[in-house]
């Protein structure tokens, strides 16, 4: 794992970690973390498992990073709006490390919300993998998600994943949103928003989908 830094378009310096297991990566990936105000960072077990699986199983250069205002990253929390700039700067960084290859943009919870919005109009994004996207965020105020019909017209191949007991991303609502968007939906049984002790299983399923969606087989 390589500790790295990069800078956003508005001059904020962010910290991250890049895992690359082979000399010439087959693709790149950027993974966005949960809500900064709820303790979210790049270091959650779900995100570790996903980065390790993408790098180890598929030969992807997998980048996890901290949004502005989190741990060693500069700046302050941007309400989910400025974090889109963070995700796009991360895309630029990882594409320099895996030039000429497809790029996966993913995220969990708040990070899924940011990743989905960051992908809009960005042709660098080859596929989206979104875990537990908050369709019912409760007390948290998050930017509105795109209309699913817009996603159907413009989004790259997209995977939505949630546990069947996820109170922030109810399974039936996610199925409906994904169907309207023309996306793939995976509901994991007997787990909730946090996938405790199911992290590797979740990561493996996302890897299988990514391999097919980005033509890495």
pLDDT digits (tens, 9 = 90+) for 91-113: 999 999 999 999 999 999 999 99
Digit-coded pLDDT (tens) for 44-68: 999 999 999 999 999 999 999 999 9
What is the distance, to the nearest Å, from the Cα of residue 67 to the centroid of all Cα atoms in its chain? 12
CB 83 within 8 A of CB 29: no
Residue 217 pLDDT: 78
Q: What is the Cα–Cα distance from 26 to 58, expressed in whole angstroms? A: 7
Phi, psi of 194 (to 5 degrees): -105, -10
Mark residue 30 as left, alpha or beta (left: phi above 0; alpha: psi -120 to 50; beta: remaining).
beta
Confidence of residue 141 (pLDDT cuts 50, 70, 90): confident
Query: Residue range 126-148: average pLDDT?
Result: 94
Per-residue pLDDT at 138 exceeds 90: no
Q: Which string of b and e fits 68-83 if b means at least 16 CB within 10 Å? A: bbbeebbbeebebebb
- Please state, in angstroms and rounded to a whole number, the distance separating the CA atoms of residues 44 and 216: 26
pTM over 0.85: yes
CB 67 within 8 A of CB 32: yes
167 Cβ neighbours under 8 A, 6+ residues apart: 136, 138, 192, 193
Q: What is the pLDDT of residues 6-20, one digit of tens each?
A: 999 999 999 999 999
Per-residue tokens: 47? 């995100």
Question: What is the residue whose two structure tokens read 């996966």?
Answer: 104
Answer yes or no: are the C-beta atoms of 100 and 52 closer than 8 Å.
no
> Domain 2-213 falls in which CATH fold?
Rossmann fold (3.40.50)
Every domain of the chain and the residues it spans: 2-213
Query: Across the strands, what pairs with 160?
Result: 130, 185
Is 140 in contact with 109 (CB distance < 8 Å)? no
């Amino acid at each position: 794992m390589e500790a790295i830094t990069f800078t956003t378009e508005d001059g904020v310096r962010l910290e991250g970690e890049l895992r690359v297991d082979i000399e010439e990566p087959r693709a790149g990936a950027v993974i966005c973390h949960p809500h900064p105000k709820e303790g979210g960072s790049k270091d959650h077990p779900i995100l570790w498992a996903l980065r390790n699986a993408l790098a180890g199983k598929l030969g992807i250069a997998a980048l996890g990073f901290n949004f502005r205002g989190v741990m060693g990253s500069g700046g302050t929390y941007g309400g989910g709006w400025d974090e889109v700039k963070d995700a796009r700067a991360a895309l630029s960084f990882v594409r320099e490390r895996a030039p000429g290859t497809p790029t996966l943009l993913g995220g969990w919870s708040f990070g899924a919300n940011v990743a989905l919005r960051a992908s809009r109009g960005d042709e660098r994004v080859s596929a989206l993998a979104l875990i537990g996207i908050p369709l019912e965020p409760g007390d948290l105020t998050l930017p509105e998600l795109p209309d699913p019909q817009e996603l159907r017209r413009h989004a790259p191949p997209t995977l939505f994943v949630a546990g069947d007991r996820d109170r922030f991303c109810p399974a039936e609502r996610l199925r409906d949103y994904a169907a309207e968007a023309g996306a793939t939906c995976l509901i994991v049984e007997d787990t909730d928003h946090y996938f405790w002790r199911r992290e590797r299983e979740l990561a493996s399923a996302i890897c299988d989908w990514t391999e097919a969606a980005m033509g890495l087989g």
